[in-house]
Chains A and B, each alone.
Chain A
Amino acid sequence: MWLLNFLPNGYLHLIIFGLMFGGLGLYAVGLFINFCPLWVKSYREPIRILSTVMLVAGIYGYGMFDANQAWREKIDEAEKKVAEAEKKAAETNTQIEYVYKDRVQVVRDVQYKTLTVLRQDASKIDATCKVDPEVISILNTAAKPVDTTGDKK
């Protein structure tokens, strides 16, 4: 049945209705064939069989086409939802990045102001306090990246 997905809907409709109405027409022909000459009557059984097969195939095809259409509509709807979600996700990314950059700028501005004040008061601070070399070593040890990849045993 998946092969039918490659056929355009118009052609499918034409084929299905062709089978249904063709089958009905043939069935009617099979009913009235009794009034025909004898040599035509001999075709009655094949015509009835063919008409029944066409009718059944047409009705089956109609039902299948309808079910297929319902699935296609569901898929279209889901695809639309996914496209909308992807668009929303991209917009959210842009917004989050914008807010993040803005907030980082605020942090850098505050840091710049703090460093400016520190430079202004540097002579005053350095005059009253001398740093022991041990302090630098302790501070650097604390700031050094810690290797967390090793096994904990």
Chain B
Amino acid sequence: MKLLLLVPVLLLAACTTAVPITVKFPDAPPTLQETCPDLQQTADTDKLSDVMAIVVANYGLYHECRLKVEAWQDWHKKQKEIFETLK
């Protein structure tokens, strides 16, 4: 008779069945995860061309960082679209 008590326990155990599906959050490309570098500092000089060279280099850094932000925005938009298809 005591063993019969096990039957409802086993039957009710079905209520705890979890759906075994997990969606893995996608990793962003490693190049996008690198932080933007600091701007370059100008060495002491009286030559305008040297100053301009640093300014041009810094403009380049800005443009690269801008591209990175755009890539992140694109990544988020596309990954969201993919995630929406799972609903």
Contacts and interface: CB of A to CB of B under 8 A. Distances in A.
Interface residues of B, number: 53
Contact of B75 (A96, A115, A133): A96
Interface string A102-132: 0110011011001100110110011001111
Given A82-B21, A118-B56, A93 B26 contact: yes
The secondary structure that dominates the B interface is helix
Interface residue SS majority, chain A = helix
B71 A99 contact: yes
Interface in B19-49: 19-24, 26-29, 31-32, 38-49
Interface string B51-84: 1111111111001100110010011001100110
A2 B14 contact: yes
Interface of A: 1-3, 75, 78-79, 81-82, 85-86, 88-90, 92-94, 96-97, 99-101, 103-104, 107-108, 110-111, 114-115, 118-119, 121-122, 125-126, 129-133, 135-136, 139-140, 143-145
